[in-house]
Amino acid sequence: MNNLMLAMLMLNNTQSSNWDISTFLTNLTTQLKSWGGLVIMLLGVVMVVVAIWKVATGLMSHGKGQPPNWLLIAILFLLGGAFVVAGASGMEAFNWVAGIAGGGKQTIIGLGNGGTTTILFNGLR
């Protein structure tokens, strides 16, 4: 029994000596990005379900009441599908959203500097 306790104690000592704040923060960042991807995927599923619900209620109403907003339904389908695909790819979901935010940042910087040609022809360089 003492040998077993000694082995467990030695195992515990070797595992705890490898712990540091840098490893903790790296693992935390990886886990939060993974969870963020799942949240994005869930949001996409909700958007697609809402779009399907709006289509079904719009078609079943037979013209009674307010007609469905087909543009909104199309946007819900497209964005919801993009969110589901991005979220299913795991870590890429965070990078996808970060890329969209980076594009917005470049647009704002271009507008602030008065460089409208940079914004309009950014992809042609």
Query: What is the token pair recorded at 71?
Result: 């543009």
- Stated as kind and residue range, the H or E segment containing 94 is helix 91-113
Angstrom CA distances, 18 to 10, 22, 64, 95, stand at 13, 11, 68, 29
Higher pLDDT, 65 or 46: 46
The continuous run of DSSP H or E covering 84 comes out as helix 70-88
3-state secondary structure of 73: helix
Q: How far apart are CA 39 and CA 35, in angstroms?
A: 6
Q: Which residue is it, tokens 């993974």? A: 34
How far apart are the C-alpha atoms of 13 and 15, rounded to whole Å?
6
State the pTM of this model. Answer: 0.58
Q: Give the Cα separation of 44 and 102 in Å (integer).
A: 21
Give the dihedral sign, CA 49/50/56/60: positive
Taking residues 52-77, report their average pLDDT.
Answer: 88
Query: Tokens representing 57?
Result: 């209620």
Contact 47, 85 (CB under 8 A): no
pLDDT at 87 exceeding the cut of 70: yes
Judge whether residue 40 has pLDDT over 80: yes
Asked if residue 29 has pLDDT above 70, the reply is yes
